[in-house]
Amino acid sequence: MRVTPKPTNLTPEELSQVLDRVDPNGKEFATARICRMLADQHSVETMRLGTVCCVSNVSDRVYNGINPKIADLGMYVTCERPMRAIVNRLGLKSKQMVWSFYKDEAANDAYFDSQDQMVNKLKRDLELMQKNNPFLELPDDEWIAALKKIDVSSMLRPVR
């Protein structure tokens, strides 16, 4: 289960709102170019983002020129380490990250599996197992009590 939000693309309306905040004069500075690119594509490598948008310090533009201006929209841009290291043109593993828009959603939103949803899923799975195996003897009350005692939050990794 992924506890952190998933990268997302922006709708034209969301992009318009972001551009109004980031580049109110409509002059298409570096911050607007970054937003346009990430609105259409997520998980863009640092080198590619910098090259296409003509930006030498992507993180500075993102953290100082974009995120503070769009925080109240419930969105942000950030980087994360890719699943596999990005290989540079010399064939060496680089420390490049991938950049994306994210929507700021709390852990109790429908976007995530909350504790209640997980317990309900376990109950449904148990009912299905009992239905498929009618001769399986499981005392209902013990399983329900056990499910109620499960502290699912202790199984989740904290978001850093």
pLDDT tens, residue by residue, 114-150 = 566 777 777 788 778 778 877 766 655 565 666 666 6
**Long-range interactions of 14-17: CB distance < 8 A, separation 24+:** 14/39, 14/73, 14/75, 15/39, 17/70, 17/73
Asked whether the predicted pLDDT for residue 111 surpasses 50, the reply is no
pLDDT above 90 as % of the chain: 42
Token pair of 106 as six digits:
């709390």
Flag the least confident range among 31-35, 44-48, 112-116. 112-116
Asked whether the predicted pLDDT for residue 17 surpasses 60, the reply is yes
Output the CA angle 102-36-22, nearest 5 degrees. Answer: 80
pLDDT for position 131: 80
> pTM of the full predicted structure?
0.62
Compute how many other C-beta atoms are within 10 angstroms of the C-beta atom of residue 14. 18
Contact 18, 24 (CB under 8 A): no
127 or 14: which leads in pLDDT: 14
